[in-house]
Chains A and B, each alone.
Chain A
């Protein structure tokens, strides 16, 4: 498949501060890419570079196989949606939508046609004569999306578009953006710090930290096989349980030992040989730990319930075991009183093992 957006060795620094470091990224045609990271990781900066609002210090940007590194934003075939909507306050919704087309001197009938089409897709027809101040947050964001839509762009850029909305609207618009992508099949690049948005929307997620892409993969791979400790800790709520320990050789098998307790690693698919004596971190997701579910091939660990957090569909237990507090997610109907004894079992096929020094998956 052809690449829609390619970024080659992109670097950007403001004086002594380096925001993006030697960054490479290939985005396929029609793909939905989410740039995910905490604030200050450079995800919005990268988006602004793609949009042409920031000039990179080094490196090149290609859109539709055209080198657009030094091109004006309007010539790049991109549309952008901002967190604060950025609607022009003094003109009506209709004029907000047609502003870019007027500037580009598109003939009037064509403008009307495109505005009508965008209004239909986004269901904002009745709002066309209103001013932005008279719209709700969700309606404003629809108009902002419409502004990108009318310009018939190749690539949509979203800069945390849902962060200003309340939880209910956010999930509604999330679904709508996904539907929009399914019907338009445009390339979309979406910046967010919300992992739910990332996991639900993305074809592939790029997790960023300190201006470097830590992992670029589809959501399931990122969730189940995080490449390093940062990715593992960033994705998932409540976050993955991390146990610090070392690899020990007993009875011809390599096991994980922490605070004197051994964990069998049967079933774990390692990237390479697991050498005994290595300092490692074992990562276990709360939903990959079984409670009182004895299975023949798994060892059982005794633990004590510290705190129980019923959340409706799920029930979250905080267990004390081997000097660690671990969170475990079980079905909401299964209740345990604090202080009760439980037996934990671990599905090592879904566990992650990281080197304690390099923090990379092993």
Chain B
């Protein structure tokens, strides 16, 4: 069964356009709760009120304001806000093709698969061309009244468009030096590397499951049938003081069990 497309667009490489459909590649599997009034278990609803008088106000009547660093609220009229909206467009413009690590995955926000729309031949040419080059496309577009930047690349042979965080949202790590201190003890470093190596294997995402989500489902099911629950409390251990002996014991422990 195929998924429903979120949006239709045309990838634009200069003169050439490739019509595509966007599909969410990540899905929300979290368990969501409704907020209820304790007394009658009726769902609560949110309203906007003036805090002093408690007078409710319809969302359509509310205004929007920007809070400055000096803690002034600058009220913006609906017309002014309209004026700074991006212009609607179906075009996803490819700005550049860059070496893959120029924009590292810290910038990536959400992944979308691209599927063909009306022109399968152009889509196949897109997949083939992306596969031929070790570079990723930097794109910019407007979707549902919002500006986006994104990265176009292949994932397992299928085209994927990642939306990006904006530069203003990124904390630049470049200006930080490594935590200073005396040179690391080479014997300890060797032990630490040995321990990492002993515990190494290939990354296989199939081996991980969201156990918490499964337990939460079970809890809901138990409660639905009127069952009782037991409680577990988190705890914290103290930091290790004798680093070298802890590392050595760790290595020995794994060697024994191997």
Query: Real complex partners, A and B?
Result: no
Q: Measuring CB to CB, which residues of chain A are less than 8 angstroms from any residue of chain B?
A: none
Q: Measuring CB to CB, which residues of chain B are less than 8 angstroms from any residue of chain A?
A: none
